[in-house]
Chain A
Amino acid sequence: GQSLEQPSEVTAVEGAIVQINCTYQTSGFYGLSWYQQHDGGAPTFLSYNALDGLEETGRFSSFLSRSDSYGYLLLQELQMKDSASYFCAVRDAMIKAAGNKLTFGGGTRVLVKP
């Protein structure tokens, strides 16, 4: 089975940096993904790490340590529009296939204040 742990809520001010940690326990592993979801909306893909290290995409970066079963999403230069829920997710397979299921963490609600 799979389990993912992430903080339930984080509050920060505009311009700040927020790090959302995600630890996971999985029977198989093929990458850690991050999704953003605004209230009432659909989740949208942010990043994906299959190998150890840091992936940077604009203001958002994602890190993975497979040996520690740990990853994080880093949100820099926070903006009001970044207020949303952020989910980490793992794919429970060693084979790369589109039909592989994702298991999502509980989500972290990020509230950005002026």
Chain B
Amino acid sequence: GAVVSQHPSWVICKSGTSVKIECRSLDFQATTMFWYRQFPKQSLMLMATSNEGSKATYEQGVEKDKFLINHASLTLSTLTVTSAHPEDSSFYICSVPLILPGGDEQFFGPGTRLTVL
């Protein structure tokens, strides 16, 4: 499988500030990573597909200019929440997809809990 880390694990910020979240694939080179957002007791909602060396692909309704994604290397993707507001408070999770003999899986990072005051 793949070991995925995220940093920070939690962050509290003031409204209007920008927050950067890192997602690292520690033992696998990932040309693709996914970013999800999850509100309490709700499902995972895909925000965007991060592509190494090219622009991210955003899901419908996700603002590209607000959620900046950079996939600068095969092991690192970053999500920057710009001008954060309280409604952006959520659990942000990244994942690395792999094709394995038993099927294709996604390996998730531990998540970053963002609280915007």
Q: Taking beta carbons and an 8 Å cutoff, which residues of A are in contact with B?
A: 31, 33, 40-45, 48-50, 87, 91, 96-107, 109
**Within the assembled complex, what's the spacing in Å between the Cα atoms of A11 and B43?**
19
Q: Which of B31, B49, B103, B108 neighbours the largest number of chain A CB atoms within 10 Å of its CB? A: B103
**Contact A99 B49, CB 8 Å, known A33-B105, A106-B42, A107-B43:** yes
The reply to whether A98 and B108 contact each other, CB–CB distance below 8 Å, is: no
Task: State whether the Cβ of B81 lies closer than 8 Å to any Cβ in chain A.
Answer: no
How many residues does chain B have at the interface if contact means C-beta atoms less than 8 Å apart?
25
Instruction: For residue B51, give the distance in angstroms from its CB to the closest CB of chain A.
Output: 8
A102: which of B102, B106, B111 is its contact (CB, 8 Å)? B106
Asked if B107 contacts A101 (CB within 8 A), the reply is no
In the bound complex, CA of A96 to CA of B41 (Å): 31
Query: With the chains together, A84 CA to B20 CA distance in Å?
Result: 29
Pair A91/B104 contact, Cβ less than 8 Å: yes
Given contacts A43-B93, A106-B43, contact A98 B99 (CB under 8 A): yes
Interface status of B110 (Cβ within 8 A of chain A) = yes
12 extra A-B contacts, CB within 8 A, seeds A43-B44, A98-B104, A99-B49: A33-B105, A40-B111, A41-B110, A42-B110, A42-B111, A48-B105, A49-B103, A50-B103, A87-B44, A98-B32, A100-B104, A102-B46
Question: Chain B residues with Cβ under 8 A from A98's Cβ?
Answer: 31-32, 97-99, 104
Task: With CB as the reference atom, state the residue of chain B lying closest to A105.
Answer: B43
Known: A104-B44, A107-B43. A48 touches B102 (CB 8 A): yes
Given A33-B105, A42-B108, A48-B103, are A104 and B43 also a contact pair (CB < 8 Å)?
A: yes
Please give, as numbers and ranges, the residues of chain B lying within 8 Å of A87 by CB-CB distance.
43-44
Residues on the A chain within 8 Å of B42, using CB: 106-107
- Given A87-B44, A106-B42, also A100-B108 (CB < 8 A): no
Interface string of B90-117 (1 = CB under 8 A from A): 0001000111001111111111000000
What separation, in Å, do the CA atoms of A98 and B34 have in the docked complex? Answer: 11
With the chains together, A74 CA to B93 CA distance in Å? 26
